[in-house]
Structure 1
């Protein structure tokens, strides 16, 4: 932190402190000593944590730390922390979930007044960042008149800018960067009994696995062994933005411990219902998603650390125009309809195959009713049949899913005045392995192209995002990749493989070489 940065931070601290002091003093309600004690005792119960937070720091307080009432997950996560003095809780909460404020101010203060914290350590990615975390805590302990009225004057000595302060009841709070030593930390007989490892994950540093391992061993070893004999809560507030980083290392180290708790909160569910409904609306969720690209939103809002082009690069996705009057003799169609009603994507596609090369003529990739997808199938059938083309059509379903899907297909068939339904087909084996084995090489070698007219459609936009997000183990939608993989694999089996995959000769679609017996 430069001298200018330090002066700016100090000026902000002084101004904020003055405002908090004045506004919280003016909000104090007159009450009898008995009423005050009853209210305090009630607020200090773990089941009333969010009431505690809202009273001292929440929306009812001027210049509050929150702009909405607490979320349900703020309460449920804290109860676990309160009940287990040795908890290791990973708070994989979405960006904007108030994880730092609750961990480093709300939780600490509630634990402190319940005599559950005597030495709190706030760890950031570096000393400057850690000091700023400590400043939020000191500001309210020193100047929040509501808090002072109930619990007395707090500050004894020290300052957040120096990375440490002590309160009048003998509690010490210290800030350290992840790159600083944790061994031997204690105040008199008090060793660390609470540690917050706040936002320490770094996507760039995660590429250096040696550094990641050093940080993980420091947290689980140096810090883990520095805790108090009878208390040692470790909270890790950090959304899951990268694989094989610090969070994965901590989880691997503690996953078998009975004290380990992985608390995952995404911004919303599959239907855009917000997790923090007290703050966000469905419209807010849609606006947030529209303001950023898919990959960033998945990392920051949905704890799904995907990287653009992890397996299939964006530059491998190619387009080419198709003569609308061309007659194709070999067309494959496949549908992945998702068992849930509206949750996952319903995906379908038609490709033409020639010499192992695939050309995607039609795409459907949306969150919708299954009936919408089935109607699209019959729309495609009518269009291509009118041009004298036949399509070999399949849909994915297990035996149990077929019982559900087949009647729906028959209804759609009748509604569309059609003659038949697609063939039920379900391939065994790991889906991600098959997608990776078939499609990665196909895209890399330029053996698959998309029709030019698909570019810019909602289906192609979704497909582009899902393809470039794909990697084994990801929770990104893979329905359309399953469709493409099935079409390519079935097409090659039915219409033959390329003898010269690097040839630039225009393919003759649908022509298959006869095999000699």
Structure 2
């Protein structure tokens, strides 16, 4: 036996032991009538189905989104959709084990095909449900021995109760798939995006074509289900393209946690600080990508990661002017705009990011952050605080007044009006300056979460963009203002410089 085959056999035997031993502990002692009643209950109630047959998986109580998705798939014999769930939410267990088993329990004969990045990977994933049919004591007690000698190969097997399991690698032909008169009734495509396909848009287009032209036509009958369980962690992926081409397909999106409160979506599995700790360990942008489908961007048409210059910042009292712009957001709910406070300083002809606050929050914390920043300024160093007049209202003024009184600080926020469109303003004020190396970031902010969020917003600025723009908008306002103070040679003069003068707004709070 080859070493590879030996290891695979050892792995599968361990799964059999796990299923068998766990099942013995949980098996129900019942009369025949009780067994019939409980099987009938399991057919209707997927939560009970999990409790009866898969307690060894149920280390935490089923979440509402698990049951909602399972009901959608079972209810529609021609269901097509995406399980767009964050990492760690049991996509594979539900789509490769629980839901295929539950549909078989309700419908009888069931031909399930699991497709992964390679046949070897698909075989390994399919082993989970194969081991359940072979060794789960509750399944055997309810439906008899399911292992079918002679039809029990690792890539294609048939149970005595009419469940057919098959493993395919992505790209393998689906044409002509059949076992006797039966054709596939249910495909699940499991995590087939790789680092290679993420970088290859042509390959992504081929993957879309494979789903449309190879996989879907291979089903023929009253039941033609297709589920796709994949993490949506990158800006360009085949799943995004496929969903865009087929808006009628269901996209069942579940974010792993609330990025404002850190509340886990699967509360019975993850403790309240789990994702806050994850952000600290892997970084906020990586956490948002892996768990909440917010792709980590590296730059696009206008702003690229290579434009960002990190260096030791000048001393705080060496800047000619320090500007603080607050891009106001009223709500602190997940999905709302960000309260973005960006602090930029002018040194010679360069612009330096000194500090920032970029969070989905209510206004109060942003105002307190500005007060704290002003408190930290050394004696003799001043900063000019600004905001756009169009966002000004009584609630904003009330919040500022309350926080200022509590902190013992006067911010003296001046207002300005800017009628330019955000996109035009951001491009006009920032693009050339980034390209010409006039913009610098304090290297102390390299691992600063709010700075990284701001960069992600900057990288997302494209024609017709739909990403958040609060941070680059505040940057554009700050740098536009600071540019008025950049010294320039006097026409006809040599070494003689003049600078713009700051005219304070008449509307100062």
Structure-1-length-normalised TM-score: 0.84
Deviation at 1:26, TM superposition (A): 4.7
Counterpart for residue 9 of structure 2: 10
1:387 matched to 2:380? The reply is yes
Counterpart for residue 297 of structure 2: 307
Checking the alignment, whether the CA contact within 8 Å between 1:201 and 1:246 is kept in structure 2 is yes
Counterpart for residue 290 of structure 1: 280
Counterpart Cα distance in 2 of 1:419 and 1:129: 59
SS of the equivalent of 2:62 reads: coil
Counterpart for residue 364 of structure 2: 371
Deviating more after overlay: 220-229 vs 365-374: 365-374
Deviation at 1:185, TM superposition (A): 1.3
Counterpart for residue 61 of structure 1: none
Q: Which one of the candidate residues 75, 89, 92 is aligned to 2:84?
A: 92
Q: Which runs of 5+ in 1 are unaligned?
A: 59-63
Deviating more after overlay: 240-249 vs 438-447: 438-447
Deviation at 1:499, TM superposition (A): 8.3
Q: Which one of the candidate residues 447, 450, 471 is aligned to 1:480?
A: 471
1:467 matched to 2:442? The reply is no
Alignment of 1:17-416 (within 5 A): 17-45=16-44, 48-58=45-55, 64-115=56-107, 118-157=110-149, 162-255=154-247, 257=248, 260-270=249-259, 271-308=261-298, 311-313=303-305, 316-326=308-318, 328=320, 330-341=321-332, 343=334, 345-353=338-346, 357-366=350-359, 369-378=362-371, 387=380, 389=382, 391=384, 393-396=385-388, 398=390, 402-415=393-406, 416=408
Judging changes above 3 Å, is the alpha-carbon distance between structure 1 residues 21 and 443 closer, same or farther for their aligned structure 2 residues?
A: same
Judging changes above 3 Å, is the alpha-carbon distance between structure 1 residues 295 and 475 closer, same or farther for their aligned structure 2 residues?
A: farther
Q: Which runs of 5+ in 2 are unaligned?
A: 503-509
Counterpart Cα distance in 1 of 2:187 and 2:478: 52
SS of the equivalent of 1:394 reads: strand
Counterpart Cα distance in 2 of 1:507 and 1:146: 90
SS of the equivalent of 1:267 reads: coil
Query: Alignment length, in residue pairs?
Result: 490
Deviation at 1:322, TM superposition (A): 2.8
Judging changes above 3 Å, is the alpha-carbon distance between structure 1 residues 10 and 438 closer, same or farther for their aligned structure 2 residues?
A: farther
Checking the alignment, whether the CA contact within 8 Å between 2:319 and 2:345 is kept in structure 1 is no
Counterpart Cα distance in 1 of 2:28 and 2:172: 44
Judging changes above 3 Å, is the alpha-carbon distance between structure 1 residues 198 and 427 closer, same or farther for their aligned structure 2 residues?
A: farther
Q: Deviations over 1:32-64 (max 9, x none)?
A: 11111111111101xx11221122112xxxxx2
Checking the alignment, whether the CA contact within 8 Å between 1:354 and 1:509 is kept in structure 2 is no
Q: CA RMSD of the aligned region, Å? A: 3.4
Checking the alignment, whether the CA contact within 8 Å between 1:268 and 1:275 is kept in structure 2 is yes
Checking the alignment, whether the CA contact within 8 Å between 2:357 and 2:450 is kept in structure 1 is no
Judging changes above 3 Å, is the alpha-carbon distance between structure 1 residues 496 and 135 closer, same or farther for their aligned structure 2 residues?
A: same
Judging changes above 3 Å, is the alpha-carbon distance between structure 1 residues 25 and 348 closer, same or farther for their aligned structure 2 residues?
A: closer
Q: Deviations over 1:55-113 (max 9, x none)?
A: 2112xxxxx23421211110011111111111111011111111111111100010001
Checking the alignment, whether the CA contact within 8 Å between 2:341 and 2:358 is kept in structure 1 is yes
Deviation at 1:166, TM superposition (A): 0.7
SS of the equivalent of 1:281 reads: coil
1:444 matched to 2:435? The reply is yes
Judging changes above 3 Å, is the alpha-carbon distance between structure 1 residues 342 and 181 closer, same or farther for their aligned structure 2 residues?
A: closer
SS of the equivalent of 2:455 reads: helix
Checking the alignment, whether the CA contact within 8 Å between 1:108 and 1:117 is kept in structure 2 is no
Deviation at 1:214, TM superposition (A): 1.5
Judging changes above 3 Å, is the alpha-carbon distance between structure 1 residues 477 and 315 closer, same or farther for their aligned structure 2 residues?
A: same
Deviation at 1:156, TM superposition (A): 1.9
Alignment of 1:416-455 (within 5 A): 416=408, 418=410, 420-423=412-415, 425=417, 429-431=421-423, 434-435=425-426, 438-450=429-441, 455=444
SS of the equivalent of 1:350 reads: strand
SS of the equivalent of 1:176 reads: strand
SS of the equivalent of 2:430 reads: helix
Q: Deviations over 1:268-322 (max 9, x none)?
A: 0121110111100112222222221333322211112223456432662233443
SS of the equivalent of 2:273 reads: helix
Counterpart Cα distance in 1 of 2:232 and 2:183: 30
Deviation at 1:384, TM superposition (A): 6.6
